[in-house]
C-alpha cells in the first residue's frame, strides 16, 4: 500500500500564493525541460565554483532569466527574490536549504549564452511546446527593451596602452631593404591605442545613459505575446538602440502574417514601418508626436 504523503511546511506556506504558484506549476507541468536542458548543456558546462562547491545547473539559471523578464528584475533583484520567495525558488528547483546563485554567476551565464547565441534556440524550443498546448496564441505581440545591470562594471578612471599593429609576414624585411636604399627615410609602424580592462570587469557590457543616470550592462530585447509570455529574446550591449534592432528581434520568433506588433515610440521609424509591412505584420507601434 502506498504511503500517504504528508504536506511539508513549505507546501503549507505556499498554498496561500495560489495565483503565482498555479502559473509556475502550470509551466513546469506543461514544459518538457529535458530538451531545453540538453541545449543549455551544449553551451554551459556545470563544474565546480571558485570556492570548490558544485556549480549551479544551467536550467536553474535559465529559469532565473525567465523570471527576470516576466517581472522586470535586475541581477541583484532576482537573487534577492529567489532567496526570499518560496514560489520563485520552487519554480527554479532550488531547495530550501540552498541559497540563490549570486548576481555575478547569473551575469556570466548570460554572457556565455549570448556569445553562443544559444538563447534563440532555447526560446524557440520552449515556445514550440507552449504553442502545441495552445498556451501561446500569436494574434498580437509586444516588443520591448530593458537594461540589465552588470555587477562587473569598470570602476575608477580608464587606462590605455599603446599597442603596435600587427605586420604582415615579410613586411619587416621589405622595410629594412627600403631603409638600406634610402637611409634618410625612416617610417615607424603605426600605433594603436588599446583600453586596458582590469581583472574581473565584464568586457561584453557597455555604458548607456537612461533617465539621466549612467548604467553599465546589457539590453534585453524581448518579444512577448499579449499575456506576457516570451516568444523571442535578443541580448545586446546596453548602448544598442532598440530602433535599429527591431528586425533581429522579430527574427527571433516565427510570427504568422497579420500579427499585431505593438511597442513604444522608441521603435517608431519609417524603416521599421517598411519592415513590418514587408513581413505582412500589423504596425501598432506608438507614433511620435510631430513638432509643429
Query: What was the pLDDT predicted at 291?
Result: 59
d(CA 164, CA 194): 10
CA distance 125 to 140: 20
Mean pLDDT of 14-27: 67
Query: In this structure, what is the dihedral angle of CA atoms 196, 202, 208, 210, given to the nearest 10 degrees?
Result: -140
Specify the pLDDT at position 188.
Answer: 53
pLDDT for 61 equals 94
Domain ranges of the chain: 9-134, 136-150+203-292, 162-196
pLDDT above 90 for 279: yes
Q: How confident is the model at residue 181 (pLDDT cuts 50, 70, 90)?
A: low
pLDDT at position 284 is 93
How far does Cα 147 stand from its chain's mean position? 10
Does the pLDDT of residue 285 top 50, yes or no? Answer: yes
10, pLDDT greater than 90? no
Residue 4 predicted with pLDDT over 50: no
- Overall average pLDDT of the 176-205 stretch: 58
What percent of the chain has a predicted confidence (pLDDT) above 70? 73
Confidence of residue 78 (pLDDT cuts 50, 70, 90): very high
Name the DSSP letter for residue 289: P
Query: Is the pLDDT confidence value at 5 over 50?
Result: no
Between CA 126 and CA 132 the distance in angstroms is: 10
Q: pLDDT band at residue 6, thresholds of 50, 70 and 90?
A: very low
User: Can you name the CATH fold of 136-150+203-292?
Assistant: Nucleotidyltransferase; domain 5 (3.30.420)
Cell of 287: 507614433
- How large is the C-alpha radius of gyration of the chain? 25
- Residue 274 pLDDT: 94
What pLDDT is attached to residue 207? Answer: 87
| 105-115 residue pLDDT tens | 888 898 888 88
Would you state the pLDDT for residue 247?
92
pLDDT of residue 92: 93
Sole residue written with cell 539559471: 61
Report which of residues 203 and 179 the model is more confident about. Answer: 203
pLDDT band per the 50, 70, 90 thresholds, residue 89:
very high
CB 44 within 8 A of CB 113: yes
Q: Decide if 205 contacts 220 (C-beta within 8 A).
A: no
Residue 167 has pLDDT above 50, yes or no: no
Contacts made by residues 196-199, CB under 8 angstroms, sequence distance 24+ = 196/158, 196/159, 196/160, 196/161, 197/154, 198/154, 198/155, 198/156
How many residues does the structure list for the chain?
A: 292
Q: To the nearest whole percent, how much of the chain has pLDDT over 90?
A: 24
**Which one of 21-35, 168-182, 225-239 scores highest in mean pLDDT?**
21-35
Query: Which carries the bigger pLDDT value, residue 258 or residue 46?
Result: 258
Instruction: State the chain's mean pLDDT as an integer.
Output: 78
Amino acid at each position: 500500500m502506498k504511503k500517504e504523503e504528508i504536506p511539508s511546511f513549505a507546501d503549507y506556506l505556499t498554498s496561500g500564493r495560489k495565483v503565482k504558484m498555479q502559473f509556475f506549476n502550470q509551466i513546469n507541468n506543461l514544459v518538457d525541460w529535458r530538451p531545453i536542458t540538453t541545449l543549455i548543456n551544449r553551451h554551459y558546462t556545470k563544474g565546480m565554483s571558485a570556492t570548490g562547491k558544485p556549480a549551479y545547473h544551467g536550467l536553474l539559471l535559465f529559469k532565473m532569466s525567465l523570471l527576470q523578464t516576466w517581472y522586470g528584475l535586475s541581477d541583484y533583484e532576482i537573487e534577492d527574490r529567489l532567496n526570499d520567495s518560496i514560489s520563485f525558488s520552487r519554480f527554479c528547483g532550488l531547495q530550501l536549504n540552498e541559497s540563490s546563485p549570486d548576481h555575478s554567476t547569473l551575469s556570466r551565464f548570460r554572457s556565455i549564452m549570448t556569445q553562443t547565441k544559444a538563447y534563440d534556440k532555447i526560446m524557440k524550443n520552449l515556445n514550440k511546446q507552449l504553442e502545441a498546448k495552445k498556451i501561446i496564441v500569436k494574434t498580437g505581440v509586444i516588443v520591448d527593451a530593458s537594461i540589465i545591470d552588470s555587477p562587473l562594471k569598470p570602476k575608477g578612471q580608464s587606462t590605455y596602452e599603446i599597442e603596435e599593429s600587427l605586420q604582415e609576414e615579410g613586411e619587416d624585411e621589405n622595410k629594412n631593404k627600403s631603409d638600406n636604399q634610402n637611409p634618410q627615410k625612416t617610417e615607424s609602424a603605426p600605433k594603436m591605442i588599446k583600453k586596458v580592462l582590469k581583472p574581473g570587469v565584464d568586457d561584453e557590457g557597455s555604458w548607456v545613459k537612461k533617465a539621466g543616470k549612467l548604467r553599465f550592462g546589457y539590453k534585453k530585447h524581448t518579444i512577448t505575446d499579449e499575456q506576457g509570455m516570451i516568444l523571442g529574446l535578443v541580448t545586446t550591449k546596453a548602448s544598442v538602440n532598440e530602433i535599429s534592432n527591431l528586425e533581429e528581434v522579430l527574427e527571433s520568433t516565427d510570427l504568422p502574417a497579420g500579427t499585431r506588433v505593438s511597442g513604444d515610440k522608441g521603435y517608431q521609424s519609417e524603416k521599421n514601418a517598411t519592415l513590418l509591412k514587408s513581413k505582412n505584420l500589423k504596425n501598432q507601434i506608438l507614433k511620435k508626436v510631430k513638432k509643429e
